[in-house]
Each structure stands twice: as structure tokens, then as C-alpha cells.
Structure 1
Amino acid sequence: MPEGDETMPKLDVTTWYLEFEGETPALPDWPDGVQLVEAVTPNPEWSQFLFCAVGRRFGWYSRLSWDYRQWHDLVHGGDVRTWALWHGGTPAGYIELVRHGAVGDAPDTDGDSVG
């Protein structure tokens, strides 16, 4: 958090890592009007918007000072996939998966930004 910023409360943070092994279970259908859509074409502005809009509620600050080049490098680096949750045509949340290396035949990923 930027020094001297009294508007943001200090929070304890717990980071969780998810791992799934085995067969992928069948997933239920999404409710009407809800979709999870991957942003196939990297877009720095979209990723910045999602981070700021979703993260504001959770006190995310790590990328608030980033310039365009940093957002560009993140989404065009080949290691990030962004998925947006849509409800009624409006973004309702997102998941950012970041590849950190290989485990067996599948890449190891973290949900760095989930909101």
C-alpha cells in the first residue's frame, strides 16, 4: 500500500493455491444470463479495468501504479490467461491464471487475481 495512504484499511492477507488431480468432473450448466468467457485477445486496458474495478472492494493495490507498458507486458507475455464472468451482459468478476512452470505434462498455474 502506498505510504501515508490513510484511505485504505490494512488487512491480513491469506493466499490460497488450488490444485486438482484426476479426472475433470462434469460441471453443471451456468444459470441463465451467466457466462465465463476467456479474453482470447490480450488487452492491457481490459486487464487494468478488471483489476481496478474488482480489486477496489478487496483492497488490491499492487498494480495501481502500473503504466501502460507494464499492463501490456503482463498480458502479452504468454504466461497469463484472463477469464471474465458475465451476468446479464455486465462483467461480474474475473480470474487471472498465471503459468509458473511445468508439472508433468500440464503447466502449473495460479489464480493470481480472482474476484
Structure 2
Amino acid sequence: MSTITLTTWSLEMTSPEELVAAAVPGPEITVSRAEVPSPEFSRFLYASVGGDIHWTDRLALTRAQWVEQLGRPGVETWVAYDRGTPAGYCELDPQGDGVVEIMYFGLLPDFRGRRIGGHLLSVGVAAAWSLGDRWPGREGTRRVWVHTCSQDGPTAMGNYERRGFKVFKTETEPKEEAPTPGPWPGA
């Protein structure tokens, strides 16, 4: 196996006024919250979005671990649809002190390059800022952050920056290059 240099950027927004919303790409695109946690659906989204960009950290989780992750208060999954077909998702992970991480964000390969990502990210970030309104007992959001890396899609960083995120940390490390797993085993 060869070694690659992996760069990871952490970006943040510290005020809802920093969000620069993208235009809705068309009436056929909708975004809604998956209000009933479903490990099967979330695993489908994770594997389908991340299969060609080296997302592997959750592939070995058991169903019980998925249930635990998705069942934590304040964890939300927002899904973009193109005429009823899932196109991508944004998973919000509330942390302490009013911080919300965009844990996972992306589009299935066939939906990239159609301006769906900017709209989905806009909806996801707005949802992160209003998370406390939907979860009684949660404090208001004071910071939203996300990380992306050099293995993510080529437009990921630009999308985050166009929405108003600012880089606050950059890390570079060598990493063993692994084969791309694809959206399902054997793909």
C-alpha cells in the first residue's frame, strides 16, 4: 500500500448571521428531517454518500451502535430528495456548550454537480442554529462546525466557504491509502 498526505480542515460559524444560503436548485428538490431514527436508512445514506470518498469509520458498527448514535437527544438527519429519491444528507451532532457539529454531509454520486449540495448545506446549517428550539432542555446553538479533508469531493471546501464557514484549524498527516470501498461490499 502507498502512503498519501491527508489534509483535514476544521471550519466554523459562530453566528447564524454568517450563513449565506444557497438558492433552491428547483422545485423537484426538497429537504426534510428524518424524524424517526432508522439505522438502516442512515447506514444506506452513509455508505452511499461516502462509498467513493473513503468513509469507512461507521461501516463496522452494529445495528445496536447505530441505534445508540442516532437516538442521542438532538442528533438529527436532514435528507435531500430529488422527486422522492434520496440525493444526500446532513447529520447534526449536538455537543456540549451550545456546539453543533455537522458530523456527516454529502450527496450520492449521481446527484453531485447539480447545486443540490449548497441548498442541503444551507438547510442543515439553519437547522443546526435552531436545534435548541426543537429539543426541550437543549441550550441555544452558539457555534456550528464541520471538518472536511483532501479525500472529500473537490467542491466540498468551496461549498462550506460559500455558506460562510471559516477555517480555524488545518492538520496534515501521512495516511495509508486504502482502496475505495464503494457504496456496498463488492461494488
Q: In which range does the TM-score fall when normalised by the shorter chain? A: 0.7 to 0.9
TM-score by length of 1: 0.76
1:17 aligns with 2:11: yes
Seen in structure 2, the aligned counterparts of structure 1 residues 57 and 29 have a Cα distance that, compared at 3 Å, is same
CA distance in 1, matches of 2:49, 2:22: 25
The structural deviation recorded for 1:17 is: 2.9
Report the number of matched residues: 104
Instruction: Give the Å deviation of 1:15.
Output: 3.8
Q: Report the secondary structure of 1:16's partner residue.
A: strand
| TM-score, length basis structure 2 | 0.49
Change (3 A) 1:68 1:22: closer
Q: Aligned pair in 2 of structure 1 residues 74, 22: CA closer, same or farther (>3 Å)?
A: closer
Q: CA RMSD in A?
A: 2.4
Aligned pair partner of 2:54 in 43, 46, 59: 59
Query: Runs of 4 or more off by more than 3 Å in structure 1?
Result: 22-30
Which residue matches 2:99?
108
**In the alignment, what sits opposite 1:3?**
none
Aligned sequence identity (%): 29
Name the structure where helix makes up a greater proportion of residues.
2
Q: CA deviation at 1:18?
A: 2.8
Summarize the Cα distance change of 1:25–1:51 in structure 2 as closer, same or farther, 3 Å threshold.
Answer: closer
> Which 5+ residue runs of structure 1 have no aligned equivalent?
1-5
Q: Distance in 1 between matches of 2:11 and 2:21?
A: 22
